[in-house]
Amino acid sequence: MMPNLKEPSLHVWQQVVQSALLEDRSEYDITTQSTVLREQIGTGVLRFKQSGTLAGITAAETAFTYLDPSTSMSEVLPDGTQVESGGTIAIVSGKLQAILSAERVALNLLQQLSGIATLTTEMVSLLEQYPNVGIVDTRKTTPGLRSLERYAVRCGGGSNHRDNLQDGVLIKDNHIAAAQKRGIGIIHLISDVRKQIPHTLRIEIEADTPELAHEAALAGADIVMLDNMTPDTMKKIVRRARELQQTEHVMFEASGGITNATIEAVAAAGVDLISVGALTHSAPAIDIALDISIN
């Protein structure tokens, strides 16, 4: 089943691709311009060299057509498609100069975004027996590429955490310490914050101890992030909170160093969300090739 995707606007794709092409000086590709004639035509087959989840096909198309609008892409697979090793994802045709000069940028973005989507797919598949547990990304994204990387997470079947610092309140240890210096505890801190934000925003507290987690839940936090805790510790916290009727509204999010090897145990602890920074900051790129034939 294909994930329900909301693709970034074409303007966003163009902005990122144009910046990358400028960085690579693609319009001044001295090697290609001195070895390939302007009128030479070529066809390139984009294919996966390993199994994975496709994300970012629009980046490739934008790169090729930016250098030459007459370039065309056909047989394009949609993002979110599970592709086997050797599978063709698109065919690009047009002037050989444009194809060769845009190749690296197109592949770089495709490989990175497909890598993120693939890692997300792997983690989501590990939680098939926990349908009520969501996997979300974090703000640990490549500067300037956040919207594309978060889109890749959705291509892999995951969801997104807050997009930026304005999207939600996430009170961490340093925020708590600053408030405590002023003599303000968790209960009053949450109360003060609620007076300053729209009622539509939720308040999340990061807790690195069971005591702080319980205090935050009782104080009225909407979400309690259980940070760098063992699955057993998280299970005890969630169980205790569920036993208290006044904390039924609280969602629990697990975070911190979660991998494919540990994610099932974390889900079994009873949390509602699992946030994984590695989805965007450590996903290995998918190996993708562009095989070119010259007409």
How many angstroms separate the CA atoms of 111 and 133, rounded? Answer: 28
CB 68 within 8 A of CB 98: yes
How many angstroms separate the CA atoms of 46 and 91, rounded? Answer: 6
CB 106 within 8 A of CB 32: no
Pick from 252, 250, 259, 292: nearest CA to 277: 259
How many angstroms separate the CA atoms of 260 and 171, rounded? Answer: 27
Is 293 buried (19+), middle (13-18) or exposed (0-12) by CB count in 10 A?
Answer: exposed
Beta strands, E only, 199-287: 203-207, 223-227, 251-255, 273-275
Q: Known catalytic residues?
A: 104, 140, 172, 206, 227
Q: Dig out the tokens for 276 from the structure.
A: 């994984």
Q: Is 112 left (phi over 0), alpha (psi -120 to 50) or beta?
A: alpha
Contact residues for 100 (Cβ-Cβ < 8 A; gap 6+): 29, 32, 36, 42, 292
Which is it for strands 273-275 and 52-53: parallel, antiparallel or unpaired? unpaired
CB 287 within 8 A of CB 100: no
**Measured between alpha carbons, how far is residue 191 from residues 188, 217, 247, 254 in Å?**
5, 13, 16, 24
